[in-house]
Structure 1
Protein backbone atom coordinates (compact mmCIF):
# COMPACT_ATOMS: atom_id res chain seq x y z
CA UNK A 1 0.00 0.00 0.00
CA UNK A 2 1.32 3.43 -0.90
CA UNK A 3 -0.90 5.42 1.47
CA UNK A 4 0.28 6.72 4.83
CA UNK A 5 -1.43 7.57 8.09
CA UNK A 6 0.12 10.00 10.54
CA UNK A 7 -1.47 10.68 13.93
CA UNK A 8 -0.23 14.12 14.94
CA UNK A 9 -0.42 16.36 17.98
CA UNK A 10 -1.09 20.04 17.35
CA UNK A 11 0.01 21.12 20.81
CA UNK A 12 -2.02 23.20 23.27
CA UNK A 13 -3.06 26.00 20.91
CA UNK A 14 -0.29 28.35 19.82
CA UNK A 15 1.02 27.56 16.33
CA UNK A 16 4.54 28.21 17.63
CA UNK A 17 4.19 25.09 19.77
CA UNK A 18 3.47 22.77 16.81
CA UNK A 19 6.62 20.74 16.18
CA UNK A 20 8.47 21.12 12.85
CA UNK A 21 7.91 17.40 12.23
CA UNK A 22 4.15 17.81 12.50
CA UNK A 23 4.19 20.98 10.37
CA UNK A 24 6.00 19.10 7.60
CA UNK A 25 3.43 16.31 7.59
CA UNK A 26 0.53 18.78 7.52
CA UNK A 27 2.14 20.49 4.51
CA UNK A 28 2.44 17.17 2.66
CA UNK A 29 -0.98 15.73 3.55
CA UNK A 30 -3.76 15.11 1.07
CA UNK A 31 -6.35 14.66 3.80
CA UNK A 32 -6.78 16.00 7.35
CA UNK A 33 -9.10 14.06 9.67
CA UNK A 34 -10.17 15.11 13.14
CA UNK A 35 -12.53 16.80 15.57
CA UNK A 36 -14.03 20.00 14.15
CA UNK A 37 -12.02 22.62 16.12
CA UNK A 38 -8.74 20.79 15.59
CA UNK A 39 -9.22 20.44 11.84
CA UNK A 40 -10.03 24.15 11.73
CA UNK A 41 -6.53 24.90 13.04
CA UNK A 42 -5.02 23.55 9.80
CA UNK A 43 -4.86 26.16 7.05
CA UNK A 44 -6.75 25.52 3.83
CA UNK A 45 -4.68 25.06 0.67
CA UNK A 46 -5.20 23.67 -2.84
CA UNK A 47 -5.24 19.88 -2.93
CA UNK A 48 -6.02 19.45 0.77
CA UNK A 49 -9.29 17.80 1.79
CA UNK A 50 -10.44 18.34 5.38
CA UNK A 51 -12.71 15.80 7.08
CA UNK A 52 -14.09 17.33 10.28
CA UNK A 53 -16.39 15.39 12.59
CA UNK A 54 -18.09 15.89 15.93
CA UNK A 55 -16.88 14.67 19.30
CA UNK A 56 -17.48 11.09 20.57
CA UNK A 57 -17.07 9.49 17.12
CA UNK A 58 -13.42 8.59 17.54
CA UNK A 59 -13.68 5.04 16.17
CA UNK A 60 -15.70 6.15 13.12
CA UNK A 61 -13.12 8.88 12.53
CA UNK A 62 -10.26 6.40 12.84
CA UNK A 63 -11.90 3.95 10.44
CA UNK A 64 -12.46 6.72 7.91
CA UNK A 65 -8.82 7.78 8.12
CA UNK A 66 -7.61 4.20 7.69
CA UNK A 67 -9.88 3.70 4.68
CA UNK A 68 -8.49 6.85 3.05
CA UNK A 69 -4.92 5.68 3.68
CA UNK A 70 -5.77 2.28 2.21
CA UNK A 71 -6.86 4.10 -0.97
CA UNK A 72 -3.37 5.56 -1.27
CA UNK A 73 -4.01 8.92 0.37
CA UNK A 74 -1.54 10.71 2.62
CA UNK A 75 -3.67 11.17 5.73
CA UNK A 76 -3.01 13.11 8.93
CA UNK A 77 -5.29 12.55 11.92
CA UNK A 78 -5.01 15.59 14.17
CA UNK A 79 -5.44 15.86 17.93
CA UNK A 80 -4.80 18.73 20.26
CA UNK A 81 -1.87 18.34 22.63
CA UNK A 82 -0.24 14.94 22.19
CA UNK A 83 -2.15 12.29 20.19
CA UNK A 84 -1.16 9.55 22.61
CA UNK A 85 -2.54 11.29 25.72
CA UNK A 86 -6.34 10.82 25.93
CA UNK A 87 -6.54 11.42 22.19
CA UNK A 88 -6.73 9.78 18.76
CA UNK A 89 -3.72 7.45 18.67
CA UNK A 90 -5.39 4.78 20.82
CA UNK A 91 -8.60 5.04 18.81
CA UNK A 92 -6.72 4.45 15.56
CA UNK A 93 -4.99 1.37 16.92
CA UNK A 94 -8.27 0.02 18.30
CA UNK A 95 -9.68 0.37 14.79
CA UNK A 96 -6.61 -1.30 13.26
CA UNK A 97 -6.87 -4.27 15.61
CA UNK A 98 -10.59 -4.78 14.91
CA UNK A 99 -10.49 -3.89 11.20
CA UNK A 100 -9.46 -5.52 7.91
CA UNK A 101 -6.12 -7.32 7.86
CA UNK A 102 -4.70 -4.94 5.23
CA UNK A 103 -4.91 -1.99 7.62
CA UNK A 104 -2.11 -3.58 9.65
CA UNK A 105 0.22 -3.23 6.65
CA UNK A 106 -0.28 0.54 6.34
CA UNK A 107 2.54 2.95 7.10
CA UNK A 108 1.23 4.36 10.40
CA UNK A 109 3.20 6.81 12.53
CA UNK A 110 2.48 8.78 15.69
CA UNK A 111 4.05 12.24 15.97
CA UNK A 112 4.17 13.68 19.50
CA UNK A 113 2.94 17.08 20.55
CA UNK A 114 3.03 19.21 23.68
CA UNK A 115 0.21 17.97 25.88
CA UNK A 116 -1.87 20.28 28.06
CA UNK A 117 -0.38 19.23 31.39
CA UNK A 118 3.16 20.02 30.20
CA UNK A 119 2.15 23.39 28.76
CA UNK A 120 0.32 24.24 31.99
CA UNK A 121 3.19 23.05 34.18
CA UNK A 122 5.64 25.20 32.22
CA UNK A 123 3.46 28.27 32.71
CA UNK A 124 3.29 27.66 36.48
CA UNK A 125 6.95 26.71 37.00
CA UNK A 126 7.75 23.04 37.62
CA UNK A 127 4.87 21.46 39.56
CA UNK A 128 5.54 18.12 37.83
CA UNK A 129 9.21 18.21 38.82
CA UNK A 130 9.02 14.84 40.58
CA UNK A 131 6.82 11.76 40.12
CA UNK A 132 3.39 12.53 38.68
CA UNK A 133 0.43 10.93 36.93
CA UNK A 134 -2.44 11.98 34.68
CA UNK A 135 -6.09 11.02 35.17
CA UNK A 136 -8.97 11.69 32.80
CA UNK A 137 -12.07 12.65 34.81
CA UNK A 138 -14.45 11.88 31.94
CA UNK A 139 -16.60 8.85 32.69
CA UNK A 140 -17.69 8.40 29.07
CA UNK A 141 -15.44 5.35 28.60
CA UNK A 142 -14.91 4.16 32.16
CA UNK A 143 -17.08 4.04 35.30
CA UNK A 144 -16.75 6.69 37.98
CA UNK A 145 -15.73 4.02 40.50
CA UNK A 146 -12.53 3.43 38.51
CA UNK A 147 -11.79 7.17 38.38
CA UNK A 148 -12.31 7.52 42.11
CA UNK A 149 -10.08 4.53 42.90
CA UNK A 150 -7.26 5.83 40.71
CA UNK A 151 -7.50 9.32 42.18
CA UNK A 152 -7.53 7.99 45.73
CA UNK A 153 -4.51 5.76 45.11
CA UNK A 154 -2.61 8.57 43.35
CA UNK A 155 -3.15 10.77 46.40
CA UNK A 156 -2.10 7.93 48.70
CA UNK A 157 1.10 7.49 46.66
CA UNK A 158 1.65 11.27 46.93
CA UNK A 159 1.95 11.89 43.20
CA UNK A 160 1.48 15.29 41.69
CA UNK A 161 -1.61 14.81 39.53
CA UNK A 162 -2.87 16.26 36.26
CA UNK A 163 -6.62 16.08 35.77
CA UNK A 164 -7.84 16.15 32.18
CA UNK A 165 -11.45 16.86 31.14
CA UNK A 166 -12.41 17.92 34.65
CA UNK A 167 -15.85 19.42 34.12
CA UNK A 168 -18.33 19.70 31.27
CA UNK A 169 -21.88 20.99 30.92
CA UNK A 170 -23.12 17.42 30.52
CA UNK A 171 -21.37 16.14 33.66
CA UNK A 172 -20.63 19.01 36.05
CA UNK A 173 -20.73 16.80 39.14
CA UNK A 174 -17.55 14.79 38.49
CA UNK A 175 -15.04 17.48 39.43
CA UNK A 176 -17.05 18.40 42.52
CA UNK A 177 -16.84 14.77 43.61
CA UNK A 178 -13.10 14.76 42.92
CA UNK A 179 -12.66 17.87 45.08
CA UNK A 180 -14.64 16.20 47.88
CA UNK A 181 -12.31 13.20 47.72
CA UNK A 182 -9.25 15.46 47.78
CA UNK A 183 -10.56 17.31 50.82
CA UNK A 184 -11.02 14.00 52.62
CA UNK A 185 -7.46 12.87 51.95
CA UNK A 186 -5.26 15.99 51.55
CA UNK A 187 -4.26 18.94 53.69
CA UNK A 188 -6.24 22.12 52.95
CA UNK A 189 -3.10 23.88 51.73
CA UNK A 190 -2.47 21.35 48.93
CA UNK A 191 -1.52 23.38 45.85
CA UNK A 192 -4.05 23.48 43.01
CA UNK A 193 -3.36 25.00 39.59
CA UNK A 194 -6.22 25.76 37.22
CA UNK A 195 -4.75 26.29 33.74
CA UNK A 196 -7.29 27.22 31.08
CA UNK A 197 -6.60 27.46 27.33
CA UNK A 198 -2.84 27.69 27.83
CA UNK A 199 -0.96 29.36 24.94
CA UNK A 200 -4.14 30.88 23.45
CA UNK A 201 -5.49 34.44 23.82
CA UNK A 202 -7.99 33.07 26.38
CA UNK A 203 -5.25 31.71 28.65
CA UNK A 204 -5.91 31.99 32.39
CA UNK A 205 -3.85 30.54 35.24
CA UNK A 206 -4.94 30.39 38.87
CA UNK A 207 -2.94 29.01 41.80
CA UNK A 208 -5.00 28.37 44.94
CA UNK A 209 -4.90 26.10 47.99
CA UNK A 210 -7.29 23.15 47.99
CA UNK A 211 -9.41 24.95 50.60
CA UNK A 212 -10.24 27.67 48.04
CA UNK A 213 -10.77 25.42 45.01
CA UNK A 214 -14.29 25.36 43.57
CA UNK A 215 -15.87 23.28 40.80
CA UNK A 216 -16.70 26.31 38.66
CA UNK A 217 -12.98 27.14 38.36
CA UNK A 218 -12.67 24.35 35.76
CA UNK A 219 -14.22 23.54 32.41
CA UNK A 220 -13.32 21.32 29.45
CA UNK A 221 -10.59 23.74 28.32
CA UNK A 222 -8.94 23.53 31.74
CA UNK A 223 -6.30 21.14 32.96
CA UNK A 224 -6.06 20.97 36.74
CA UNK A 225 -2.69 20.28 38.33
CA UNK A 226 -2.61 19.07 41.93
CA UNK A 227 0.67 19.30 43.74
CA UNK A 228 2.13 16.55 45.89
CA UNK A 229 2.52 17.17 49.61
CA UNK A 230 6.02 18.51 48.83
CA UNK A 231 4.98 21.01 46.15
CA UNK A 232 5.97 24.56 47.04
CA UNK A 233 4.83 28.05 46.03
CA UNK A 234 7.32 30.91 45.74
CA UNK A 235 5.52 34.21 46.26
CA UNK A 236 6.70 37.24 44.29
CA UNK A 237 5.35 40.48 42.83
CA UNK A 238 4.09 38.73 39.71
CA UNK A 239 2.39 35.34 39.41
CA UNK A 240 3.81 32.84 41.91
CA UNK A 241 6.27 30.14 40.93
CA UNK A 242 5.14 26.60 41.72
CA UNK A 243 7.54 23.68 41.85
CA UNK A 244 7.91 20.20 43.26
CA UNK A 245 11.41 19.49 44.63
CA UNK A 246 13.50 16.82 42.91
CA UNK A 247 14.09 14.89 46.13
CA UNK A 248 11.82 13.24 48.67
CA UNK A 249 12.85 13.40 52.35
CA UNK A 250 13.62 10.03 53.91
Structure 2
Protein backbone atom coordinates (compact mmCIF):
# COMPACT_ATOMS: atom_id res chain seq x y z
CA UNK A 1 0.00 0.00 0.00
CA UNK A 2 1.19 3.51 -0.85
CA UNK A 3 -0.46 6.53 0.69
CA UNK A 4 -0.03 9.87 -1.09
CA UNK A 5 -0.50 12.11 1.92
CA UNK A 6 -1.19 15.84 1.91
CA UNK A 7 0.02 17.20 5.24
CA UNK A 8 -1.49 20.67 4.81
CA UNK A 9 0.65 23.51 6.16
CA UNK A 10 2.36 20.94 8.39
CA UNK A 11 0.92 21.27 11.89
CA UNK A 12 -1.57 18.98 13.60
CA UNK A 13 -4.30 21.63 13.74
CA UNK A 14 -4.52 21.85 9.95
CA UNK A 15 -3.90 18.18 9.19
CA UNK A 16 -6.77 15.77 8.56
CA UNK A 17 -7.46 12.77 10.79
CA UNK A 18 -7.12 10.66 7.65
CA UNK A 19 -3.55 11.89 7.14
CA UNK A 20 -2.60 11.13 10.73
CA UNK A 21 -4.17 7.67 10.43
CA UNK A 22 -2.08 7.03 7.31
CA UNK A 23 1.06 7.85 9.29
CA UNK A 24 0.03 5.44 12.03
CA UNK A 25 -0.58 2.63 9.53
CA UNK A 26 2.66 3.22 7.61
CA UNK A 27 5.94 1.43 8.14
CA UNK A 28 7.95 3.93 6.10
CA UNK A 29 7.59 7.68 5.51
CA UNK A 30 9.04 9.08 2.27
CA UNK A 31 9.37 12.78 1.50
CA UNK A 32 11.32 15.95 0.85
CA UNK A 33 13.47 16.64 3.92
CA UNK A 34 11.82 20.00 4.69
CA UNK A 35 8.37 18.38 4.80
CA UNK A 36 9.64 15.45 6.86
CA UNK A 37 10.85 17.96 9.45
CA UNK A 38 7.35 19.47 9.67
CA UNK A 39 5.83 16.17 10.80
CA UNK A 40 8.73 14.60 12.69
CA UNK A 41 6.68 14.54 15.90
CA UNK A 42 4.15 12.27 14.15
CA UNK A 43 6.70 9.97 12.54
CA UNK A 44 8.18 8.78 15.86
CA UNK A 45 10.31 5.66 15.34
CA UNK A 46 9.21 4.86 11.78
CA UNK A 47 11.70 4.37 8.97
CA UNK A 48 12.26 7.60 7.02
CA UNK A 49 13.48 8.03 3.44
CA UNK A 50 14.14 11.66 2.46
CA UNK A 51 15.97 13.60 -0.22
CA UNK A 52 16.18 17.09 -1.66
CA UNK A 53 14.42 19.27 -4.20
CA UNK A 54 14.10 18.14 -7.83
CA UNK A 55 14.39 14.47 -6.85
CA UNK A 56 10.69 13.66 -6.95
CA UNK A 57 10.97 10.80 -9.46
CA UNK A 58 13.69 9.07 -7.43
CA UNK A 59 11.59 9.53 -4.29
CA UNK A 60 8.54 7.87 -5.83
CA UNK A 61 10.55 5.02 -7.36
CA UNK A 62 12.03 4.31 -3.93
CA UNK A 63 8.57 4.34 -2.34
CA UNK A 64 7.30 1.84 -4.94
CA UNK A 65 10.36 -0.36 -4.41
CA UNK A 66 9.72 -0.41 -0.66
CA UNK A 67 6.01 -1.13 -1.09
CA UNK A 68 6.87 -4.21 -3.17
CA UNK A 69 8.47 -5.72 -0.06
CA UNK A 70 5.07 -5.67 1.65
CA UNK A 71 5.56 -2.54 3.69
CA UNK A 72 3.02 0.30 3.86
CA UNK A 73 4.51 3.58 2.68
CA UNK A 74 3.37 7.18 3.07
CA UNK A 75 4.74 9.63 0.50
CA UNK A 76 4.13 13.12 1.85
CA UNK A 77 3.47 16.44 0.17
CA UNK A 78 2.85 19.80 1.76
CA UNK A 79 -0.68 21.08 1.23
CA UNK A 80 -2.75 18.66 -0.85
CA UNK A 81 -0.96 15.72 -2.47
CA UNK A 82 -3.09 16.22 -5.58
CA UNK A 83 -2.38 19.96 -5.98
CA UNK A 84 1.18 20.43 -7.26
CA UNK A 85 1.98 17.42 -5.06
CA UNK A 86 3.18 13.84 -5.42
CA UNK A 87 -0.11 12.01 -6.07
CA UNK A 88 0.02 12.24 -9.87
CA UNK A 89 3.60 11.00 -10.11
CA UNK A 90 2.87 8.07 -7.80
CA UNK A 91 -0.12 7.05 -9.93
CA UNK A 92 1.90 7.47 -13.14
CA UNK A 93 4.81 5.29 -11.98
CA UNK A 94 2.97 2.66 -9.94
CA UNK A 95 2.11 -0.69 -11.50
CA UNK A 96 -0.11 -3.03 -9.49
CA UNK A 97 0.49 -1.33 -6.14
CA UNK A 98 -2.55 -0.10 -4.26
CA UNK A 99 -2.42 3.70 -4.04
CA UNK A 100 -4.65 5.83 -1.87
CA UNK A 101 -4.59 9.64 -2.11
CA UNK A 102 -5.12 11.50 1.18
CA UNK A 103 -6.22 15.10 0.61
CA UNK A 104 -4.94 18.03 2.65
CA UNK A 105 -5.36 21.76 3.11
CA UNK A 106 -3.67 23.37 0.13
CA UNK A 107 -1.87 26.72 0.28
CA UNK A 108 -4.62 28.68 -1.45
CA UNK A 109 -7.35 27.65 1.00
CA UNK A 110 -5.06 28.05 4.00
CA UNK A 111 -4.12 31.56 2.86
CA UNK A 112 -7.72 32.41 1.94
CA UNK A 113 -8.89 31.61 5.47
CA UNK A 114 -6.24 33.96 6.86
CA UNK A 115 -7.18 36.74 4.42
CA UNK A 116 -10.95 36.47 4.87
CA UNK A 117 -13.08 35.12 2.01
CA UNK A 118 -11.35 35.86 -1.32
CA UNK A 119 -12.33 32.55 -2.99
CA UNK A 120 -16.11 32.90 -2.83
CA UNK A 121 -16.48 32.82 -6.61
CA UNK A 122 -14.67 31.16 -9.53
CA UNK A 123 -10.92 30.98 -9.04
CA UNK A 124 -7.88 29.26 -10.50
CA UNK A 125 -4.40 28.18 -9.48
CA UNK A 126 -1.36 29.22 -11.52
CA UNK A 127 2.22 28.34 -10.64
CA UNK A 128 4.91 30.77 -11.80
CA UNK A 129 7.60 28.09 -11.68
CA UNK A 130 8.87 27.38 -15.19
CA UNK A 131 10.84 24.27 -14.24
CA UNK A 132 8.17 22.02 -15.75
CA UNK A 133 6.04 24.49 -17.74
CA UNK A 134 7.20 27.01 -20.34
CA UNK A 135 7.08 30.65 -19.30
CA UNK A 136 5.11 31.58 -22.42
CA UNK A 137 2.38 29.13 -21.44
CA UNK A 138 2.35 30.40 -17.86
CA UNK A 139 1.86 34.00 -19.01
CA UNK A 140 -0.84 32.88 -21.46
CA UNK A 141 -2.74 31.30 -18.58
CA UNK A 142 -2.33 34.48 -16.51
CA UNK A 143 -3.72 36.55 -19.40
CA UNK A 144 -6.72 34.29 -20.03
CA UNK A 145 -7.57 33.94 -16.34
CA UNK A 146 -7.44 37.72 -15.98
CA UNK A 147 -9.61 38.23 -19.04
CA UNK A 148 -12.10 35.72 -17.60
CA UNK A 149 -12.25 37.69 -14.32
CA UNK A 150 -11.10 34.76 -12.23
CA UNK A 151 -9.69 35.20 -8.75
CA UNK A 152 -6.11 34.02 -9.27
CA UNK A 153 -4.11 32.06 -6.68
CA UNK A 154 -0.42 32.24 -7.51
CA UNK A 155 1.84 29.43 -6.34
CA UNK A 156 5.67 29.62 -6.46
CA UNK A 157 5.36 33.37 -7.04
CA UNK A 158 8.92 34.62 -6.66
CA UNK A 159 12.40 33.24 -6.05
CA UNK A 160 15.99 34.43 -6.32
CA UNK A 161 16.21 32.75 -9.71
CA UNK A 162 12.86 34.23 -10.84
CA UNK A 163 12.78 37.71 -9.26
CA UNK A 164 10.66 39.37 -11.97
CA UNK A 165 8.11 36.73 -12.99
CA UNK A 166 5.51 38.01 -10.53
CA UNK A 167 5.99 41.61 -11.63
CA UNK A 168 5.61 40.58 -15.27
CA UNK A 169 2.50 38.55 -14.42
CA UNK A 170 0.96 41.60 -12.74
CA UNK A 171 1.66 43.69 -15.84
CA UNK A 172 -0.36 41.15 -17.81
CA UNK A 173 -3.16 41.17 -15.23
CA UNK A 174 -3.44 44.96 -15.37
CA UNK A 175 -4.58 44.71 -18.99
CA UNK A 176 -7.83 43.19 -17.73
CA UNK A 177 -7.94 43.93 -13.98
CA UNK A 178 -8.22 47.29 -12.25
CA UNK A 179 -5.18 48.56 -10.40
CA UNK A 180 -7.40 48.82 -7.30
CA UNK A 181 -8.09 45.06 -7.31
CA UNK A 182 -7.32 43.66 -3.83
CA UNK A 183 -4.30 41.41 -3.44
CA UNK A 184 -3.51 39.20 -0.45
CA UNK A 185 -0.04 37.87 0.30
CA UNK A 186 0.40 35.22 2.97
CA UNK A 187 3.83 33.87 3.84
CA UNK A 188 4.07 30.65 5.88
CA UNK A 189 0.29 30.27 5.92
CA UNK A 190 -0.85 28.65 9.17
CA UNK A 191 2.75 28.06 10.23
CA UNK A 192 5.07 29.78 12.67
CA UNK A 193 6.26 33.20 11.47
CA UNK A 194 3.13 33.71 9.37
CA UNK A 195 3.10 37.08 7.61
CA UNK A 196 0.06 38.72 6.00
CA UNK A 197 0.01 41.66 3.60
CA UNK A 198 -3.13 43.14 2.05
CA UNK A 199 -2.64 45.57 -0.82
CA UNK A 200 -3.79 46.11 -4.41
CA UNK A 201 -2.40 45.40 -7.84
CA UNK A 202 -1.06 48.97 -7.93
CA UNK A 203 0.45 48.97 -4.44
CA UNK A 204 2.00 45.51 -4.12
CA UNK A 205 5.56 45.38 -2.79
CA UNK A 206 7.17 42.51 -4.65
CA UNK A 207 9.99 42.32 -2.10
CA UNK A 208 7.51 40.93 0.48
CA UNK A 209 6.92 37.86 -1.69
CA UNK A 210 9.05 34.71 -1.80
CA UNK A 211 8.67 30.97 -2.44
CA UNK A 212 7.00 30.47 0.94
CA UNK A 213 4.25 32.91 -0.07
CA UNK A 214 0.88 32.46 -1.74
CA UNK A 215 -0.52 35.45 -3.63
CA UNK A 216 -4.27 35.79 -4.17
CA UNK A 217 -5.49 38.39 -6.67
CA UNK A 218 -9.19 39.26 -6.56
CA UNK A 219 -11.75 39.67 -9.33
CA UNK A 220 -13.93 42.65 -10.24
CA UNK A 221 -16.24 42.07 -7.24
CA UNK A 222 -13.51 41.64 -4.64
CA UNK A 223 -13.17 44.31 -1.97
CA UNK A 224 -11.52 44.97 1.39
CA UNK A 225 -13.58 45.34 4.58
CA UNK A 226 -12.17 45.58 8.12
CA UNK A 227 -8.78 44.50 6.80
CA UNK A 228 -10.26 41.32 5.28
CA UNK A 229 -10.55 40.47 1.59
CA UNK A 230 -14.04 39.46 0.42
CA UNK A 231 -15.11 38.29 -3.02
CA UNK A 232 -18.85 38.62 -3.54
CA UNK A 233 -20.65 35.38 -4.23
CA UNK A 234 -23.60 37.20 -5.79
CA UNK A 235 -26.11 37.07 -2.93
CA UNK A 236 -28.45 40.03 -2.51
CA UNK A 237 -27.37 41.70 0.72
CA UNK A 238 -28.89 44.59 2.66
CA UNK A 239 -26.97 46.67 5.12
RMSD (Å), alpha carbons:
1.4
Q: Assess if the C-alpha contact under 8 Å between 2:182 and 2:198 holds in 1.
A: yes
Which aligned segments of 4 or more residues in structure 1 are displaced greater than 4 angstroms? none
Aligned to 1:38: 35
Q: Distance in 1 between matches of 2:25 and 2:153?
A: 34
Q: Does the aligned pair in 2 maintain the 1:190–1:226 contact within 8 Å? A: yes
2:20 maps to which residue? Answer: 23
Match of residue 146 from structure 2: 155
- What is residue 139 of structure 1 aligned with on the other side? 130
Quote the residue 1:214 is aligned against: 205
Q: Distance in 1 between matches of 2:231 and 2:154?
A: 17
- CA distance in 1 between partners of 2:69 and 2:15 (Å): 28
Distance 2:12 2:122 in 1: 29
CA distance in 1, matches of 2:154, 2:21: 31
* SS of aligned partner of 1:24: helix
**Uncovered stretches (5+) of structure 1, i.e. residues with no partner:** 97-102
Q: Is the 8 A contact 1:136 1:165 kept in 2?
A: yes
Match of 2:229 among 233, 237, 242: 242
The DSSP-based 3-state class of the residue aligned with 1:72 is coil
Q: Report the alpha carbon displacement of residue 248 of structure 1 after superposing the two structures with TM.
A: 8.6
Aligned length: 234
Instruction: Describe the SS at the equivalent of 2:169.
Output: helix
Q: CA deviation at 1:83?
A: 0.4
- Structure 2: how far apart are the matches of 1:23 and 1:120? 22
Question: Retained in 2: the 8 A contact 1:196–1:205?
Answer: yes
Conservation of the 8 A alpha-carbon contact between 2:83 and 2:106: yes
Gaps of 5+ in 2: none
* 1:203 Cα deviation after fit: 0.4
Looking at structure 2, the residues matched to 106 and 202 of structure 1 have their Cα atoms a distance apart, in angstroms, of 39
Deviations 1:123-174 (A, max 9, x none): 1111000111101110000100000000100000000010000011222221
Give the deviation of 1:71 after TM superposition: 1.3
Could you tell me which residue of structure 1 aligns to residue 9 of structure 2?
12
Question: 2:185 & 2:141 partners in 1: Cα distance?
Answer: 20
Structural mapping, 1:6-155, within 5 Å = 6-40=3-37, 41-43=39-41, 44-46=43-45, 48-96=46-94, 103=95, 105-155=96-146
